[in-house]
């Protein structure tokens, strides 16, 4: 059995923020992005629920919400694709494994971006992959009948959360880009 990690997506209270309001330095609140141009983003997400994700003992946690979330989502996709392959839905499985794991790969690549524009570009690619992944999951929900519906709903909930986070990161980064010009 895979242990579960409890992930909260609530914004920290102002009293928890260090001086300067830098949410990236608060444990459990992501935003620090490594690389040549470190950025500090404060995600204003008000999702009032806890999400339980499978975590392996060797899971590479980075204290970065989106890196961790997309990695854990990729693990869920790999397990789900195995079930799709068992039902002989190879074309959908192939598309889903590519798009579902690509989200996290692009987010990880953005951590070492060379510029703010490069960072934004990589996150836009991750957002496009998230949209494609949502499409394939919805297709599974409607067209593949031999699958666990609750597992599909969990994947849909996770991809929606990831899409919201990616959108917020892109918007915040674009605002920072405008300020720096």
Place of tokens 């490069």: 118
- Sequence-distant (6+) residues with CB within 8 A of 127 are 163, 166, 167, 170
pLDDT for 3-20, tens place per residue? 444 443 333 334 433 444
Report the distance separating Cα 178 and Cα 27, nearest Å.
28
- Is residue 42 scored above 90 in pLDDT? no
- Is residue 95 scored above 90 in pLDDT? yes
Quote the mean pLDDT of the chain.
Answer: 76
Per-residue confidence band for 62, with pLDDT thresholds at 50, 70 and 90: low
Q: How much is the pLDDT for 71?
A: 96
Q: How much is the pLDDT for 60?
A: 55
Residues 172, 41 contacting (CB under 8 angstroms):
yes
Instruction: State the average pLDDT over residues 146-161.
Output: 93
Report the distance separating Cα 90 and Cα 3, nearest Å.
28
Residues 16, 26 contacting (CB under 8 angstroms):
yes
Q: How much is the pLDDT for 94?
A: 96
Model's pTM, two decimal places?
0.67
- Is residue 47 scored above 50 in pLDDT? no
Q: Where are the alpha helices (DSSP H) in 111-148?
A: 116-143
């Amino acid at each position: 059995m895979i242990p579960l990690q409890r992930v909260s997506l609530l914004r920290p209270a102002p009293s928890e923020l260090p001086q300067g309001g830098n949410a990236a330095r608060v444990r459990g609140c992501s935003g620090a992005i490594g690389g040549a141009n470190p950025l500090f983003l404060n995600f204003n997400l008000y999702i009032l629920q806890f999400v339980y994700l499978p975590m392996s003992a060797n899971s590479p946690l980075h204290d970065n919400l989106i890196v961790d979330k997309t990695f854990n989502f990729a693990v869920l996709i790999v397990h789900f694709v195995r079930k799709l392959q068992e039902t002989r839905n190879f074309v959908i499985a192939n598309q889903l494994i590519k798009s579902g794991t690509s989200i996290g790969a692009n987010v990880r690549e953005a951590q070492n971006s060379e510029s703010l524009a490069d960072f934004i570009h990589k996150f836009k690619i991750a957002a496009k992959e998230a949209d494609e992944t949502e499409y394939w999951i919805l297709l599974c929900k409607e067209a593949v009948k031999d699958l666990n519906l609750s597992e599909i709903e969990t994947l849909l909930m996770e991809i929606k959360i990831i899409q919201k986070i990616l959108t917020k990161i892109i918007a915040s980064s674009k605002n920072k880009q405008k300020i720096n010009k």
